[in-house]
Structure 1
Amino acid sequence: MHVGAHWYRAMVRVADFLRMSGPPEPHNVLQEQGLLHQWYPGMFVIFVSHQWLSSGHPDPQGKQVEVLQKALRGIIDGSLQVTEDIVSRSDDKSLSSDTRRHIADGFLFFDWFSIPQITARQNGVNEDTTKSDAALAVQSIPAYVELSNVFLAVVPELVHEDSTELVNYATWLSRGWCRAELWCRLLSSKADNSVIVVYSATESEFMFPLDWQNNSIVDGRFTVEADRTTVARLGEVAVESPSSSVLRCNYRFYAALRPKLLKQERKHQDADGFLKYFQFNSVLEAALDDSSMNAVMCAVLSGDTFMLRLLVANGADMNTKLRGLSSLGYYDSQTVLMAATKSRQEPSVLATLIELRADVNARSRTGLSALAMARTPGHVKVLLENGAEAPPRVLSGVASFACPETVKVLLSYRCEPTFDPESGSSGPLHAVALLSRGNIKAIETAELLLAHRADVNACARPVNDLLWICRQARLRTAFYGFANCNMTTRLWASFAGITPLGYAAMVGHEQLTKLFLKYGAESFPNERGDTPEDLARNNHHYHLIPLLATFST
């Protein structure tokens, strides 16, 4: 691992960082103050990825730094829990007490501190300097990500001072440099490549795997367009790296997705090429393979319809249930047809699977079908034209992750943007609001649903097993206190009776909150008695309080 000599003294002690106040000082000032430290074997490093809030300074008002400081204090003392993402909704993963102690004694890599700084990043401004700095940054990012033990994406919802646009998790995911840092982390040689998303001083979670799989470096947003080619090469190097522990453990998965991840044209392979590429000895062995990442999944994720047909001819089952791929976002009990939709395959792949007897209406253990996981207009058309049913929760699933154009196609098939309380689900507006932080198209989707008469004041009504889950969560929050429970528990405890506005307030999405109020959202409480204003306050989204208080009943 090589790091340029003048970049080597680049870490700041967490303890020193927590004593800072106001806008962060740059590298040269901290160097003069003796606050930068050289990396040494055994040093515990926290890599901080974030968006700049102006062209000339990453955090002119110190707001991001303040969130990071409070979050670190919470992580260290245990008051801030880091849990599984709200899609997985599991308590299986958390930060250990040892990790929290290491963080307290650790060192931060933060670009403004750690890099002799980059001036304004604008086309035509300081061309020679920025080109030189960009080259150094490209050299340093993989090195410091590789050295890091913890990776934090700090993404509070704030306003960019130059553009006045909101900056948040969705926009962080869209930025090319942030994607480069993310990919270097996920495809590094570390045994644990987890990414912790810090939404606010009091809320954080492990990243949902599909969030990074659907965001290639190549089509990320760059302030300086010339950076695109340079940074895209980072992705190629990371994916091609033979030292990556992720690639070693999940070789077939990444081999199948490689063209998609790098935005490369898929090359047709014959049977021998497929077997060699995915390390199978024969077509028969491949067809009968029952491992987690079996040959059918290899063919699906690589979009190989020729091999799908050949595998079926040799006894492969197109209704195989997935297992062992949950860490990659493909959950046990889902089908290969669902994997094709979630990985955004061409409609021809779905059509081939259905032709080969894949059950278009098979359900996962959560009751969702492939149609609910559709990601493109082509997916919707193929599934519906081949007999897919459209139960009440389908539109909620599609609205959560797909683009507005996909939602529009589903609506054109008379799939109403309402929900059936008897099914135990919430409506599509609930789904959009709950998962809005990672969806840069959430506002467009919500506007589309509202234009089709979605009920902005619909109340969620859990039934059956979901009702028991909600009751258990209510008991847990009553015993431990709402603020002391993780986000998953708080979500279930708040579910009964919650409105779309309640969810928007709970996750702190200002634009959705304004949109719902514009369309007549009322400040109805949920069954726990929490109004949207209460939910915003309980989850520390204080920027929403004046807005919600104005409309309180």
Structure 2
Amino acid sequence: MGSSQGSAQGSGTSEVAEDGMTSCNTGVHQCSFPMYVVKVSDFLEMEGVPEPHHVLRRKGLLHEWQPSMFVIFVSHQWLGNGSPDPSGQQMTVLRRALQSWTDGSMTVEVDLMRTFGDQRRFTSSYERVATAYLFLDWFAIPQLTERADGVNDDATTSDTARAVQSIPAYVESCDMFVALVPDLVHSDTGLQCNYGTWLSRGWCRAELWCRLFSNREDTRVVLIFSGREALFIMPLDWQRSLIADGLFTVECDRTVVMKLGERALRSKIEHLDRWGPLTDYRFYLAQEPRLLNQQHGGFSLQGFLRHFSFPSLHDAVKHESGMTGMLCALFAGDADILQSLVKHSADVNARISGIAHLGYSDTLTLLMVAAYSSQEPKILSTLIMSRADPDTVCVSEAGSLVTAAWLATQPGHVQVLLEKKADLAASPPLTGAGAVSNARTVKAFLEARCDAGHVSPNGFGPMYSTAFCGRGSPDAPAILQMLLSSRGDANARAKPRGLLYKECLRARVSAALWGLEGCTVYQRQMASLPGATPLSIAAVMGDQRLVRLLLEHDAEPVANDRGDTPEDLAKAAGHTDLLPILSTFHV
């Protein structure tokens, strides 16, 4: 939901039972209060500070959910203690995004790294938005304020409490899920509220899980960063965001919300077991203990085969697309089963395929997957001792040379790779760590004497990868600070080469024709890269934390090769909140 405890809370399939209670007629979660929604067309006519439930109801702007409605669930972090958006900034961003979808000037895209080379096949325009309805907690839940009591308190008979308890059911009933995550400041605490802080909230994670684990055909999650930028969430972002580790204003909410997440995940697994696909079933089944913060149970070989529905040992060890036996054992964190499968001729250096939709690109090796999915160091050690090659290279579509070190996400991974004599010079691991890892892992690489200024053969380096990929990571400022303290250059200008440069040139053609504002997010970011400094990249990404940090380290607001300054890039991407910061430091 909103306030300091979480994000927006949403919609549910509801009907009034004979006892007068509202109950769900479909779905996994109980619905105890009707879901109220607002027409998108009415919302676009609103201005300023959002009005609460009772005001909208008096004006006749609230509608009770009906099965024929196309409903958008809006999840957001509150920007004030008593109001979700005291200055109306957040709602302005939402209106601009909805209007852009309605008039066709913006699509929802996949992030830069997954879109490379094919920016059209993943986009969605959402033509139904114009006639859709919105679920927003402030609009839908009566007398909602910053919560002083938990969801499991004694006041469960109140409409507010029953509506809050119905949030998982509301999420299930919505057709589209949007996380509203522009980089703005909380009016009471003065703290930044952005994608990273939204993703850290326990209630927001619960909403996210209820969406992703629903049995709908389309379970995608849209992130709105500005009125000109909307992306689908990266799978690894939610897979690393456990409800058990989330932040809760009311600590007693944690256990209750964890049970909601567990119910959603187990329902997903049961559905996949019955209807498939088998690859997804095995993936979620293998991830279940980790996602629920439970102990991994060791398998016997026969128990493993039964658990993951392998008809025979031969089926488990053969190399094929999807969730092989080796991948099941890897994601389950079972080193003994990995060793057993290798002894029965499983290929420890096999390259994966068929699970890109779950966040793991084709041609990665098992060792790379183990590192990227944050498995315990023991799993990496077991694979290497079974003759997995730590120096195998995967060439990304952008021309980066990806190794297991490049995808390391724990300091223990670095230690294992060093002990096993991995060649850290083959591909600068800090470039990968700056994008996908955390401060502790980056520190381990720096202590191993990796060079913060070393760039990949395609011209991409850690200062750029951190700026491009940092806005979802709470560690990004600490990572950037360590790179700067280790001779990273705040004013280094990007010089893309090879495949990366060719893609930049393609994007610059589009920018020349339509202007940066008229480009897709992908085209804008790629066209901006040649000659860009870390400050330029942080500006086009809208990351206030990194922009401020770079300016404090004497980053100059120089133009890129196209002549775009950081201010130009921030404006083109719709991150107007950055303009005062950039202009103040420039003066």
Fold agreement, TM-score > 0.5: yes
CA shift, 1:243, in A, is 7.6
* 1:127 to 1:303, Cα distance in 2 relative to 1, 3 A: closer
1:94 to 123, 148, 158: 123
CA shift, 1:387, in A, is 2.1
2:482 maps to 1:452: no
Structure 2: gaps spanning 5 or more residues: 1-12, 16-20, 23-31
What's the TM-score once normalised by structure 1's chain length? 0.95
Task: Indicate the percent of aligned positions where both proteins have the same amino acid.
Answer: 45
CA shift, 1:425, in A, is 2.5
* 1:2 to 1:123, Cα distance in 2 relative to 1, 3 A: closer
SS at 2:36's partner residue? strand
SS at 2:244's partner residue? coil
The C-alpha deviation readout for 1:10-61, integer Å capped at 9, x for no partner, is: 0111111111122212222222222221222221010110011122221122
Instruction: Tell me the residue number matched to 2:257.
Output: 231
2:195 to 159, 162, 169: 169
CA shift, 1:228, in A, is 0.7
Amino acid at match of 1:290: E
Amino acid at match of 1:465: L
* 1:242 to 1:502, Cα distance in 2 relative to 1, 3 A: closer
Instruction: Tell me the residue number matched to 1:389.
Output: 423
* 1:409 to 1:130, Cα distance in 2 relative to 1, 3 A: farther
- Asked whether the equivalents of residues 319 and 350 of structure 2 are also in contact (C-alpha less than 8 Å), the reply is no
Deviates more, 1:357-366 or 1:69-78: 357-366
Q: Where do residues 280-291 of structure 1 align in structure 2 (5 Å cutoff)?
A: 280-291=310-321
- Asked whether the equivalents of residues 470 and 493 of structure 1 are also in contact (C-alpha less than 8 Å), the reply is yes
Structure 1: distance between partners of 2:202 and 2:56: 27
- Asked whether the equivalents of residues 426 and 459 of structure 1 are also in contact (C-alpha less than 8 Å), the reply is no
Deviates more, 1:492-501 or 1:244-253: 244-253
Structure 2: distance between partners of 1:133 and 1:224: 19
Q: Where do residues 516-535 of structure 1 align in structure 2 (5 Å cutoff)?
A: 516-535=550-569
2:435 to 396, 400, 412: 400
* 1:191 to 1:480, Cα distance in 2 relative to 1, 3 A: same
Instruction: Tell me the residue number matched to 1:414.
Output: 449
- Asked whether the equivalents of residues 269 and 285 of structure 2 are also in contact (C-alpha less than 8 Å), the reply is no
- Asked whether the equivalents of residues 321 and 336 of structure 1 are also in contact (C-alpha less than 8 Å), the reply is yes
* 1:9 to 1:520, Cα distance in 2 relative to 1, 3 A: closer
SS at 2:539's partner residue? helix
Q: Where do residues 98-109 of structure 1 align in structure 2 (5 Å cutoff)?
A: 99-100=126-127, 102-109=128-135
Structure 1: gaps spanning 5 or more residues: none
* 1:246 to 1:470, Cα distance in 2 relative to 1, 3 A: farther
CA shift, 1:508, in A, is 1.3
Instruction: Tell me the residue number matched to 1:39.
Output: 65
* 1:549 to 1:235, Cα distance in 2 relative to 1, 3 A: same
SS at 2:391's partner residue? coil
SS at 2:243's partner residue? coil
CA shift, 1:221, in A, is 0.6
2:311 maps to 1:277: no
SS at 1:204's partner residue? strand
CA shift, 1:85, in A, is 1.4
* 1:443 to 1:148, Cα distance in 2 relative to 1, 3 A: same
- Asked whether the equivalents of residues 213 and 268 of structure 2 are also in contact (C-alpha less than 8 Å), the reply is no
Structure 1: distance between partners of 2:520 and 2:541: 13
Structure 1: distance between partners of 2:347 and 2:504: 37
Q: Where do residues 25-64 of structure 1 align in structure 2 (5 Å cutoff)?
A: 25-64=51-90
Q: Where do residues 24-423 of structure 1 align in structure 2 (5 Å cutoff)?
A: 24-89=50-115, 90-91=118-119, 92-96=121-125, 99-100=126-127, 102-122=128-148, 128-129=154-155, 136-137=162-163, 139-242=165-268, 248-249=276-277, 250-366=280-396, 367-391=401-425, 392-420=427-455, 423=457
Structure 2: distance between partners of 1:243 and 1:35: 39
The C-alpha deviation readout for 1:457-497, integer Å capped at 9, x for no partner, is: 11111112222111111112112222111111111111111
Instruction: Tell me the residue number matched to 1:507.
Output: 541
Q: Where do residues 534-545 of structure 1 align in structure 2 (5 Å cutoff)?
A: 534-545=568-579
- Asked whether the equivalents of residues 84 and 94 of structure 1 are also in contact (C-alpha less than 8 Å), the reply is yes
- Asked whether the equivalents of residues 321 and 335 of structure 1 are also in contact (C-alpha less than 8 Å), the reply is yes
SS at 1:12's partner residue? strand
- Asked whether the equivalents of residues 110 and 123 of structure 2 are also in contact (C-alpha less than 8 Å), the reply is yes
Structure 1: distance between partners of 2:41 and 2:164: 28
What's the TM-score once normalised by structure 2's chain length? 0.90
SS at 1:481's partner residue? helix
* 1:380 to 1:39, Cα distance in 2 relative to 1, 3 A: same
Amino acid at match of 1:542: T
1:491 to 522, 525, 530: 525
SS at 1:42's partner residue? coil
- Asked whether the equivalents of residues 299 and 307 of structure 1 are also in contact (C-alpha less than 8 Å), the reply is yes
* 1:339 to 1:530, Cα distance in 2 relative to 1, 3 A: same
Deviates more, 1:68-77 or 1:531-540: 531-540
- Asked whether the equivalents of residues 120 and 126 of structure 1 are also in contact (C-alpha less than 8 Å), the reply is no
- Asked whether the equivalents of residues 528 and 562 of structure 2 are also in contact (C-alpha less than 8 Å), the reply is yes
CA shift, 1:403, in A, is 1.5
- Asked whether the equivalents of residues 123 and 223 of structure 1 are also in contact (C-alpha less than 8 Å), the reply is no
Structure 2: distance between partners of 1:125 and 1:246: 30
Question: Which fold has the larger relative contact order, with Cα–Cα distance below 8 Å and residues 6 or more apart in sequence?
Answer: 2
CA shift, 1:234, in A, is 1.1
- Asked whether the equivalents of residues 142 and 160 of structure 2 are also in contact (C-alpha less than 8 Å), the reply is no
**How many residues are treated as equivalent by the alignment?**
549
- Asked whether the equivalents of residues 184 and 577 of structure 2 are also in contact (C-alpha less than 8 Å), the reply is no
Deviates more, 1:339-348 or 1:384-393: 384-393
